[in-house]
Structure 1
Amino acid sequence: MADEERGAATTGAPEQTRDYAVVSAQRAREVPEGASARLTWSGGDAPIDYEARAAHVEVRDDAGTLVGQMFSLSYVALGEDGRPDPARPVTFAYNGGPGSSSVPINFGGIGPRRVRPDGMRHVRADAPVEDNPHTLLVDSDVVFLDALGTGWSVLAEDADPKKVFCTDGDADAFARAICAWLTENGRWSSPLYLYGESYGTVRNAALMRLLGERGVQLTGVVMLSAVFNIAGLINPGDDLYYLGMMPTFAATAQFFGKAGAGVDEDEWFDRAMAFAEDELAGALLRGDRLGEERERAVARRMSEFIGLDAEHILSRRLRVDLLDFRRHLLADEGRVCGRLDTRFSSDGPSPMQSFDTWLAGEDAADDALEGAWVRAFRRFCADELGYRGPARYLSNNYDKVNASWDWGHEEPGLGRVATPNMALDVAVALRRNPTCKLAIIGGRYDAATTWWNVVHDMSHQFLSDELKGRVSWYRYGCGHMAYVDADALAAMGRDVHEFYGKR
């Protein structure tokens, strides 16, 4: 899956991860030598010569003890003299999960090569790979990093997975890997950017503050499909969860012709945002004090937006969760809509397959593309770079990493919390470094990290007008993986190009 776990996230770090650490330790002693090639990108008006390099970056603690080796695939533009430009920006990019490698955002999104998607259809295993006309390489050198425990990244023999498979340990490992890469490649004079997707935006938020505390000043941060308040993601039952889902449900219902006929898509989404805040929020807040007449009126209004019967909505007391919506919106067609991108759909499961946690992790959008991305990545590393990685590449490792994840976090100003709101970290980082710029990118059809929630979370940081002016917002007609949509990718390419050019 591109960014999110299959199944529900849990807290804590069970002992089963010790077995994985032992396996990883063996692999850590066998990581291949780095390999590189000089290539040319020809996807735009002016070609770019660049070096692509696959290698591992050592992650060491303050005592010099090896924690792990993080796999990186870097793309560095070369000047007329055949050398990198140390004044050119460097962007460190990754997906999330937790438990996802960086292949989706690389070969699906912003790398110099991408698998050509096919609308809302499942692509073939041999889908064409092309020079990406909207690659970030135009504006910045890019280093794609696989989190420890994913891809070809491995833990050291004596490393404790509990200290890595957690919010703060993950951020610490990435901070160390970033600094190591900058040192090894002599790029400390380059403007530094972070580009994270999904849980990668949680990582970004922690890194914005952590790197600043370690004297590493960032020029900019890109948050793609952002999630900040973890409770709203993993705790259905929280009113913020239902409020965040409602506009995305409305957009999806309009896409499938169940609501919003004749209304512009963005206007329809804005109307749904307003309904969620002005009517639904108050109704949810009042609970059983709302009264039957008012509850029925809100249900009828909500039905007009999300395409489900008002009686069904009433039976859920106005609280329709994602799995319920996915099951019922297209039920008359025998289909289930997606999660990462709700425009994708597939045949519904057999009536015998009723296990909710399993069904929640089944996703047509993910199935449509991930296999082709991984195959293109492996072919590129082997055939063009001559890099011989292990036979198995963990494009995702949710069973070991996500299931063991400790969501606890040392929240600035609050201390240790079990389910953090990372918008606090973002706000602290911006206040400490008001020269840093921030881009927040999302899509109307993303039910994994809903747009309303990130808008809500940032609006509750009460930033000054000056700091709010450092934040650029971009919303597209796409799902979680914005780059899957050709129009969204083109718009995102233009907007990110403009963002990188801002002072």
Structure 2
Amino acid sequence: MTFIKNKRCVAIAGVLSFLALNGMAQPGGNRQQQGQAAAVIPPTDSKGSVVALPVDPTGYIVSNSPNIPPPVVTKHSVTIKGQVINYTATTGYLQLKNEDGKPKANIFFTAYTKDGVSDKSKRPITYTFNGGPGSSSVWLHMGLLGPKRVVMTDKGDVLPPPYSYVNNEYSWLDKTDLVFLDPVTTGYSRAVTGENDKQFHGYVEDLQSMGDAIQLFSTKYDRWNSPKFLAGESYGTTRAAGLSDYLQSRHKFYLNGIVLISSILNMQTARFDVGNDYPFPLFLPTYTATAWYHKKLPADLQQKDLKSVLKEVEDFATEEYNIALLKGSELTGQEYENIVNKLSRYTGLTKEYIRQTNLRIDIHKFDKELRRTEGLTVGRLDSRFTGRDYNDVGVTPEFDPSNTGTISGPYAAAINHYVKAELKYNNDLPYEILGGRVNPWNYNNVQNRYLNVAEDLRSAMANNPHLKVWVLCGYYDLATPYFAAEYTFNTMGLRPEQRKNVNFTYYEAGHMIYIHKPSLIQTKIDADKLYDEVTKEINSAIVKSR
């Protein structure tokens, strides 16, 4: 493996709230049945009086109240690699407060912890989230890491509604406990009444709220001595890299590993702005992979395997193409035509179109152009998928067929049913899957420049020499291309001893690697190796210290 819900409160007059995750056994009844809720006890204040909890007339939790109930606890099991894993699911809120105790926001979480673990210090825990910014953690929760996964075809095509999910035999729960966190204004997470949610909508602000939520969970549930990991996808990798430094510097909270799924740490690599030529060579190999998949390359290239083709294109992108972009108008006529010919060869686009772009192919225009003569567009998140616009004369696609046409419906149905039906958790708010409620996102820390969090990660690695970084890339990902991720790590100034802790794996899939079942299976194999490697290193260090 190469890793390179008028809100009002009603008084609680009896047993109304579910037992929080505190390990307390309650008498009476079998707690091990799948989906069975634990016993319930009423919360009290410091004087022993029963407190009012925020519920509406139907009993649903009101999430933006400063008074929140304890989490809901249920018991379940899942079979992974032939082994039955009994586990506890804990669903509810972590409340962020000012130092004077005033509530600011309620962060929704779902935690899965393996039963029968006597020593938490030997059991890894992984804090995980998605990206956007503005996305809930549903994708990694119901697609890759969690104990349930959405049912799709092996390729990743959507089945007819109503959709379904099954036990995830490729869950990471056999190797690590899992905590899925939704940033403020995603999922069920909200700022409390009277607090402006915009105070959480920015790079720095998001790191503070998410980092403080991780610290709070670790303290509340006694996980400071556990091997600790972060796992993020897309902008979630941006968050994870920033959190690695924030957690260390703010809370002295040191990590064992970071998992970056469809990574983007340097925004300059993916912004097609006039004067910024970085994306053009960095996106080119993914253009080639896309054209190869859709059989738009010349015959000699189509006959080769994908990796061989990509190696040829990577060399061209790094050398000839990069130099040509640097020379700009200083290119001779022959040099210009040579680049035109090769770009046409490697993208499946006509030479005339290449000339019209002035050698600079924008991703969205590529998605429209590659199969324009057939009246089809290709996906951005996953370029294996195609869509059809209202007409064929537009410059860019009307929608991303690999997003709205593929994954949104099944994942929304899955999480909304699962949380209520199996985790026994009710909430009056809509579960915000992925939307624009966080816009505009605040990048005040990087005015007049691009956000680049690679330095945050490098700093974290320098201060924590045991920190492992695993980067997962999809060849058909046109949102966060693999070659751009490689470039970022190659140029972030890692020392040799740090570089050996960075590992890359590649999959013939798109942005959501896991919707492609062969890649889902391989990802599980690769994840096992990571957790086994870290566990082995910890155990070895313990032995040597004795």
Task: Give the TM-score, by structure 2 length.
Answer: 0.82
More displaced 10-residue stretch of structure 1: 339-348 or 418-427: 418-427
> Secondary structure of 2:94's partner?
strand
More displaced 10-residue stretch of structure 1: 259-268 or 208-217: 259-268
For residues 339 and 192 of structure 2, what CA distance do their matches in structure 1 show? 55
For residues 163 and 226 of structure 2, what CA distance do their matches in structure 1 show? 36
Q: CA deviation at 1:66?
A: 2.1
Mapped pair 1:476 → 2:507: yes
Mapped pair 1:190 → 2:226: yes
Map of 1:135 onto structure 2: 171
Q: Which amino acid aligns with 2:352?
A: E
1:219 and 1:306, CA in 2 relative to 1: closer, same or farther beyond 3 A? same
For residues 490 and 527 of structure 2, what CA distance do their matches in structure 1 show? 22
> Secondary structure of 1:47's partner?
strand
More displaced 10-residue stretch of structure 1: 204-213 or 267-276: 267-276
Mapped pair 1:114 → 2:154: no
Deviation string 1:206-237 (CA, Å, 9 cap, x unpaired) is 10001111210101100000001112323433
For residues 311 and 265 of structure 1, what CA distance do their matches in structure 2 show? 26
The one of 341, 345, 349 aligned to 2:382: 341
Q: CA deviation at 1:153?
A: 0.2
Mapped pair 1:298 → 2:335: no
Deviation string 1:407-426 (CA, Å, 9 cap, x unpaired) is 2337xxxxx76422111111
> Secondary structure of 1:42's partner?
strand
Q: CA deviation at 1:60?
A: 2.2
Q: Which amino acid aligns with 1:192?
A: K
Mapped pair 1:455 → 2:486: yes
Contact kept, 8 Å, 1:338 with 1:344, in 2: the verdict is yes
Map of 1:387 onto structure 2: 425
Gapped regions of structure 1 (runs ≥ 5): 1-25, 411-415
RMSD across aligned C-alpha pairs, in angstroms? 2.0
Deviation string 1:265-324 (CA, Å, 9 cap, x unpaired) is 112122221111111111111111112221111111111111001111111011010111
Q: Which amino acid aligns with 2:104?
A: V
**Aligned pairs, how many?**
466
Mapped pair 1:77 → 2:114: yes
Contact kept, 8 Å, 1:344 with 1:365, in 2: the verdict is no
Q: CA deviation at 1:189?
A: 1.4
1:41 and 1:274, CA in 2 relative to 1: closer, same or farther beyond 3 A? same
For residues 241 and 40 of structure 1, what CA distance do their matches in structure 2 show? 45
Mapped pair 1:319 → 2:356: no
> Secondary structure of 1:245's partner?
helix
Q: Which amino acid aligns with 1:460?
A: T
Map of 2:304 onto structure 1: 263
The one of 253, 257, 261 aligned to 1:216: 253
Equivalence map 1:51-450=2 (5 Å): 51-79=88-116, 85-118=120-153, 119-213=155-249, 214-237=251-274, 238-259=276-297, 260-350=301-391, 354=394, 359=397, 362-398=400-436, 400-401=437-438, 403-409=439-445, 418-450=449-481
1:377 and 1:121, CA in 2 relative to 1: closer, same or farther beyond 3 A? same
For residues 398 and 268 of structure 2, what CA distance do their matches in structure 1 show? 18
Contact kept, 8 Å, 1:280 with 1:298, in 2: the verdict is yes
For residues 268 and 492 of structure 2, what CA distance do their matches in structure 1 show? 17
Contact kept, 8 Å, 2:158 with 2:410, in 1: the verdict is no
> Secondary structure of 1:151's partner?
coil
Q: CA deviation at 1:33?
A: 5.1
For residues 150 and 474 of structure 1, what CA distance do their matches in structure 2 show? 29
Map of 1:20 onto structure 2: none
In proportion to residue count, which structure has more helix?
1
Task: Give the TM-score, by structure 1 length.
Answer: 0.88
For residues 506 and 238 of structure 2, what CA distance do their matches in structure 1 show? 19
1:397 and 1:64, CA in 2 relative to 1: closer, same or farther beyond 3 A? farther
Q: CA deviation at 1:501?
A: 1.4
More displaced 10-residue stretch of structure 1: 136-145 or 159-168: 159-168
Deviation string 1:447-474 (CA, Å, 9 cap, x unpaired) is 0011111111111122121111111111
More displaced 10-residue stretch of structure 1: 247-256 or 128-137: 128-137
Contact kept, 8 Å, 1:335 with 1:346, in 2: the verdict is yes
> Secondary structure of 1:136's partner?
coil
Higher RCO (CA-CA < 8 Å; seq separation 6+): 1
Bigger Rg, which one:
2
